[in-house]
Amino acid sequence: MDLFDEQEREAGIHALAPGAALLRGFARDVAPTLLAAVDDIAASAPFRHLLTPGGHTMSVATTSCGTLGWHSDEQGYRYTSRDPDSERRWPAMPACFSALAHDAAARAGFAGFAPDACLINRYAPGARLTLHQDRNERDYGAPIVSVSLGIPAVFLFGGLRRNDPTQKLRLVHGDVVVWGGPSRLRFHGVLPLAHAEHPLTGACRINLTFRAAA
Ligand code: MD3
Ligand code: FE
């Protein structure tokens, strides 16, 4: 191991690919605060199983906060400024969310990240996310920051084409991944979640993805 690798390891930064960095445990200390904020958000914008444009009900349950939230139905995938279920604005993004996303992006080399949308995914055992690209945001120059909470998941990341080979990455409670630069449009997904228990979330995994959508 050379000095550079050693320094990266001490800072908890692992380069996954050009523009993609894993910050192992970066959100561990703030996790209880984040999870309390998720409960508050879900009290006004409940988790729901969205329909894909193809008419399938997603196994992952979602909600959002920020000035824009994520929605999908038979009409397609899009960001909305109001929760279609309640017609109210999405809950505001908590300060602890924006601060964490900003600081993680900065640590990975993306200074000044100011997300306007946070999609919150909740996985029960068996839930999964098939391989896809995130391409509904306006500016691909901004990274996506993802935060894993609760029970572990195996994350898949591929290349820029659907059929490119994929790599597996196990993400645990407190891990943060920053996807920017040439990795921003990589295909990615989550394998069906295995049964497990976490003291803070029970038998579930919560994933926050921060985006500059508008
Ligand atoms: C790589 N969520 O919400 S986060 C999604 O664990 C989504 O819930 C997954 O994919 C989850 O769209 C994965 C990691 C992630 C998010 C966005 C990416 C990886 C990414 C964008 C480009 C490349
Ligand atoms: Fe995605």
CATH number at residue 181: 2.60.120.590
The pLDDT value recorded for residue 12 is 87
Which pLDDT belongs to residue 9? 60
How far is the centre of ligand 2, averaged over its atoms, from the C-alpha of 186 (Å)? Answer: 9
201: amino acid identity, one letter: T
Atom of ligand 1 nearest to the CA of 184: 22
Phi, psi of 85 (to 5 degrees): -75, -35
Domain count, the chain: 1
Q: What is the pTM of this model?
A: 0.95
Residues with CB under 5 A from ligand 2 (ion): 134
Domain residues for the domain of 29 are: 2-211
Atom of ligand 1 nearest to the CA of 60: 8
Residue 70's contacts (CB-CB under 8 Å, 6 or more residues apart) are 62, 64, 77, 78, 79, 80, 117, 119
What tokens does 17 get? 């690919």
Averaged pLDDT of the chain: 95
Among protein residues, the one with the nearest Cα to ligand 1's atom 6 is: 207
The Cα 143–Cα 176 span in angstroms is 12
Q: Is the minimum distance from the CB of 63 to ligand 1 under 6 angstroms?
A: no
pLDDT value, residue 6: 60
Region 107-126: mean pLDDT is: 98
